[in-house]
Structure 1
Amino acid sequence: MVTGNPRQRSNSSNEGSDSLDNTQQDDSPTLPPTPGDNGIDTLNPAPNYSPNQITSPTITPPLSSNSPGQSGRQSLASPNHSSIQTNNPSPIITTSTRRHYHHNHHHHHGEGRRNYPGEPHLSLAPHVDPAPAPAMYWSKARTHGKPSKALRAHTVNLVGELMYVFGGCDAKTCFNSILIFDADTMYWNRARTIGDPPPICRAHSSTLVDKKLFIFGGGDGPTYFNDLFIFDTDVLEWIKPKTSGNIPSPRRAHTSAYYNNHLYIFGGGDGFKALNDVYILNISDLNNLVWQKLEPKGRPPISRGYHTTNLVGSKLVVYGGSDGHECFSDVYVLDLESNTWIQAVEKSYPRLSHTATQVGSYLFIVCGHDGSKYTSEVLLLNLVTMEWERRKVYGTPPSGRGYHTTVLYDSRLFVFGGYDGHSVFDDVYVLDLSACAYLPQITNFQLPEL
């Protein structure tokens, strides 16, 4: 990511460039910084960029096979083995008690939502507009147990009611630990894992497939990775499988999705330039993992990182991002059946380091950077019409931020961490969809013919 004070690109900018120009142009806005670790996390580390800060993307999980914001629904059975290390007042979860813990804390939708001590609530401060019924509203969650670290450029995947948080950075260092957040009880726990974890990293991707997290790429400081790790949430075990074939180049700020037994990787940056390539990995046999580079037909998106990718049906929907100079506002669709790129929306709302979470027939775009500032705005992209909609949101929203994560659970969007150009956050905000709570039930729809 490029440091400096971001501004919009002028109409004379070269939007067709597939690579980054190492010379900063007057009409090429620099983009928002994130706190550093004595290096620059950039898509294109041009020599005239300020070297005192670094940035990393928010990676959203696939939507049709992973957690919300990631891709379609997988089997979401909860883990039932190994142990989780906690500090009081968090419960200690062991091999013998974990299944009992899961069933006792399971949320029964038919009985209505239970009121837990950590249930997020709407602030009663006089400056907060009361939410008419029904309406979407923000609240800051009161969490318990061992608190989360302040994190940016981490990943979150939902398995049952448990959210698995991996990697990311605070203002000084990166991590390779697994934190677990129970969305029913609002309890934080630290997982006691087995096996060798990935190196500390940020701006990686994490894709949920059958209760396993497939973690690819990322990096720290000047280091970029192209390794694949698997985390089994059933037994809390790390595995590093052998891969072969046309392995993607080391990268971060990319996105991933899962479709038809294949893991898809798109875009990102390698430290010298932004990327717009597509790689696939058949993961049906973990003993025979062979990478292939996909060569889609049609005009591909401009090279980019810090974008979002969501699997909707058999299509990847790519929105926003940056090539290190420009904050993009376009929407592209990659049809995985015909292997064809299509531009669905040419110009809209510029965003990078945002999240995009599928809720029924909509993508909810939460926070991010608009090319000039960090925002807490919520945008809705109607996937049936490919048109943007705005909805009134009440309550106390999070401060403007990017490099956070967003997960849908029980008609609520949970927002974790992030960065606003000055501070890295450790908070959890909840957007209760309320009037839009029916949206997750909308599963029978099609994207428009483009």
Structure 2
Amino acid sequence: MADQRKSLDKTRSPLKTKFVRSQKIMQPSPTDTRSEDIPEDSEPVHTKGPSRSQTPGHLSTKSTDKRKGSTSKDPRSRSQSQSQASTRSPIAGASVPKLPASINEGNGPITSPIAREGSPAGSAGLVVGERRPGVLRSTSAIAGKPISSTTTPLTTPKPPSQSKKIGNHAYFPPPPDTKEEHDVLPAPASGMYWSRAPTSGAPHTALRAHTTTAIGSNIYIFGGCDSRSCFDEVYVFDADAFYWSSPLVTGDIPVPLRAMTCTAVGKKLVVFGGGDGPIYYNDVYVLDTVNFRWSKPVISGTPPSKRRAHTACLYRNGIYVFGGGDGVRALNDVWRLDVSDVTKMSWKLISAPSSSTSSSPTGDRSDLKFRADREVKPKARGYHTANMVGSKLIIFGGSDGGECFRDVWVFDVDTLLWKSVNIPVSYPRLSHTATIVGSYLFVIGGHDGVEYSNEVMLLNLVNMQWDKRIIYGEPPSGRGYHGTVLHDSRLFVIGGFDGVTVFEDVYILELAVHAYYSQISHYTIDV
């Protein structure tokens, strides 16, 4: 018995070095890309040996011994053994089997079986030019198994959009070194204070003329452009954690857009208009922020003309759209999009443009509410701001392409009357932002007709007078075409453009004692 055990140990020991642990082929994530300066074939690629037997060790050894002891094999058995030997791990100097062309050919693009849903590439089955490693590698030291042409292709995750910024995940930055940071003047506890947000999370591109819309503590950023092209991406910025994320969206994804509007209706975002270069649109898209699915609903009624650089505000289940430009002229008409049911929306003209000769949007000349078209109106404009306070739509600034406006107008959506606000001292602005904080309108940045500004101006909506306050801290550089959102007594300024640089930073304006303005909710605008 002892001799038999020794013989078994002798026959078993050489096989220990040939056992290979079972493994899975690890799928690379969409963001797992190889650096451009490292060629994809720089690492040796090995194929996997025969899979480990599921029988107990001693039984497996005995069966191996039996196979070793077998000397009489028919031609079919020999051919099978030769095919098995060809799949074992190659020794040094052996050639690696060539992968099927369907997986990868050289360093060229991979034909992905899954494209982004709703995209042209997905509908037409086009090639997504995303660089991936030549062989799907495991994260362990054991090499992956090549996929044969007869193997069912693995289900790969959806590739990221080609317009997304490629980069590494940004971790939360460490606290700044007080010795290296330059001095910032101390601020009183009651003073407003600028600071740059220490953000982390997914990489995102620098943007201008994008939309920033808050739902809860999340700020949804859509579209916009940098110095080269426009985008159709959606980013989410957590205003509590200062964390960026890039969700995977599906459905009828809009085309790349800039200078469009995005309005929150419950948990949905309604996007209207916008353009890219010489192209203008008047389409409406809806994004469900619960499942991140885009849809393009069918809307009844006559739609507005194609436009961008307009504004849109929500009031009583209606989105009121004012102004903008269509590429030929500036506009000053007002439209209402009924969003009481986002699956059955409808358009209605509320206030016709100044050049219109029709007497009523419904064709009824006896409609007394339509007398607003016979009254004075603001000049046609775009890149202005609009804010809704009760039933009053407040319009400030903008441009018609030649003049930078400084006037303030109020449109009553109940009476359909325009009224001009007489303010002795005012300031021209375009491409700025305006945010309601209680009874004040906080105007940040923009262009004054000469240069980009980083000023913060407050319009008192009770007495309709401008006010400027001392703000401490380190302000952002002058910019326009940015986005501003109010959350938790802070104003978040995201992105923007100063004529040369497109920004990707986030600045915070701490309102301090001025945050109590938001508690002022009972006031009227009398003009």
Q: Normalising by the residue count of structure 2, what TM-score does the alignment of the two structures yield?
A: 0.62
Secondary structure of the 1:235 match is: coil
Give the alignment partner of residue 177 of structure 1, picking from 224, 230, 233: 233
Aligned residue runs from structure 1 range 422-437, under 5 A: 422-437=500-515
Which of 282, 295, 304 lines up with 1:226 in the alignment? 282
* 1:249 aligned to which of 305, 329, 338: 305
- Give the residue type in structure 2 aligned to 1:363: L
CA spacing shift, 1:335–1:168, aligned 2, 3 Å:
same
* Residue 398 of structure 1 pairs with residue 476 of structure 2: yes
The answer as to whether partners of 1:135 and 1:433 remain within 8 angstroms in 2 is: yes
Using the TM superposition, give the Cα deviation of residue 421 of structure 1 relative to its aligned residue in structure 2, in angstroms.
Answer: 0.6
Alignment equivalent of 2:403, drawn from 315, 318, 326:
326
Q: Kindly tell me: are residues 160 and 288 of structure 1, through their superposed partners in 2, closer, same or farther at Cα, counting changes over 3 Å?
A: closer
Cα drift, residue 88 of structure 1: 7.0
Following superposition, the deviation at residue 285 of structure 1 comes to 2.7
Contact 1:357 1:364 in 2 (8 A): yes
Q: Deviations over 1:190-249 (max 9, x none)?
A: 011120211000000001111111100000011000000001111111010001322100
Q: Secondary structure at the match of 1:301?
A: coil
Tell me how large the CA RMSD over aligned residues is: 2.3
In the superposition, relative to structure 1, how do residues 394 and 277 fare at CA in structure 2: closer, same or farther (>3 Å)?
same
Counterpart of 2:292 in structure 1: which amino acid? L
Q: Which runs of 5+ in 1 are unaligned?
A: 1-82, 92-115
Q: 1:217 aligned to 2:295?
A: no
TM-score by length of 1: 0.72
Assess if the C-alpha contact under 8 Å between 2:409 and 2:419 holds in 1. Answer: yes
> What is the CA–CA distance in structure 1 between the aligned matches of 2:461 and 2:178, rounded to whole Å?
30
> In the alignment, which residue of structure 1 is the partner of 2:334?
278
Give the aligned residue type for 2:396: Y
Higher strand fraction (1 or 2): 1
What residue in structure 2 maps to residue 78 of structure 1? none
1:336 paired with 2:413, answer yes
> Residue 385 of structure 1 corresponds to which residue in structure 2?
463
CA offset at residue 148 of structure 1? 2.5
1:294 to 1:316, Cα distance in 2 relative to 1, 3 A:
same
Contact 2:169-2:203 at 8 Å conserved across structures: no
Q: Separation in 1 of the partners of 2:504 and 2:422?
A: 34
Deviations 1:78-127 (A, max 9, x none): xxxxx9x9987579xxxxxxxxxxxxxxxxxxxxxxxx978999999445
Aligned residue for 2:317? 261
- Give the SS at the match of 1:439: helix
Change beyond 3 A, Cα 1:293–1:121: farther
- Equivalent position SS for 1:350: coil
Distance 1:242 1:379, change over 3 A: same
Task: Give the drift of 1:300.
Answer: 1.3
**Residue among 296, 300, 304 paired with 2:377:** 300
Give the C-alpha shift of residue 147 in structure 1. 2.9
2:211 counterpart residue number: 155
The structure number with the bigger radius of gyration is 2
State the Cα deviation string for residues 48-81 of structure 1 (Å, max 9, x = none): xxxxxxxxxxxxxxxxxxxxxxxxxxxxxxxxxx
In structure 2, what is the Cα distance between the partners aligned to 1:253 and 1:434?
32
What secondary structure, in the 3-state scheme, does the structure 1 residue paired with 2:522 have? coil
Deviations 1:337-380 (A, max 9, x none): 11110111356100000000000110000000011110000000
Q: Which runs of 5+ in 2 are unaligned?
A: 1-157, 161-165, 352-369
CA gap 1:142/1:277 in 2 versus in 1, 3 angstroms: same
Match of 1:362 among 426, 440, 443: 440
Q: Tell me the distance in 1 between the aligned counterparts of 2:422 and 2:178.
A: 35
Q: Which amino acid aligns with 1:203?
A: A
Helix, strand or coil at the partner of 1:234: coil
For 1:317, the equivalent position in structure 2 comes to: 394
SS at match of 2:504: coil
| Greater displacement, 198-207 / 257-266 | 257-266
In 2: Cα distance, 1:394 partner to 1:304 partner: 33
- What is the match of residue 257 of structure 2? 201
Q: 1:193/1:349 Cα in 2 relative to 1: closer, same or farther (>3 Å)?
A: same
Equivalent pair of 1:118/1:186 in contact (CA under 8 Å): no
Aligned residue identity for 1:352:
L
Once the two structures are TM-superposed, the CA of residue 287 in structure 1 deviates from its matched residue by: 3.9
Structure in which a larger fraction of residues adopt helix: 2
Q: Deviations over 1:276-334 (max 9, x none)?
A: 01111111133432211113513111000000000011110000000000000000000
Q: What letter corresponds to residue 518 of structure 2 in structure 1? A: P
The number of residue pairs the alignment matches comes to 342
Deviation at 1:441, TM superposition (A): 1.7
- Which of these residues, 471, 489, 493, is aligned with residue 411 of structure 1? 489
What is the alpha-carbon distance in structure 2 between the residues aligned to residue 131 and residue 123 of structure 1? Answer: 19
Residues 381 and 388 of structure 1 are in contact (CA less than 8 Å); yes or no, is this contact kept in structure 2?
yes
Aligned to 2:64: none
Q: 1:121 to 1:367 in 2, by over 3 A?
A: farther
Q: Is the 8 A contact 1:123 1:139 kept in 2?
A: no
- Judged with a 3 Å threshold, the aligned counterparts in structure 2 of structure 1 residues 194 and 123 are, in CA distance, closer, same or farther, namely farther
Q: Does 1:444 align with 2:516?
A: no
Aligned letter for 1:164?
A: Y
CA distance in 2, matches of 1:175, 1:269: 20
The code of the aligned residue for 2:194 comes to W
Q: Which amino acid aligns with 2:398?
A: G
Closer/same/farther in 2, CA of residues 374 and 261 from structure 1, 3 Å limit? same
Equivalent position amino acid for 1:301 in 2: P
User: Which amino acid in structure 2 is aligned with residue 376 of structure 1?
Assistant: N
Q: Distance in 1 between matches of 2:178 and 2:331?
A: 42
189, 209, 221: which one aligns with 1:165: 221
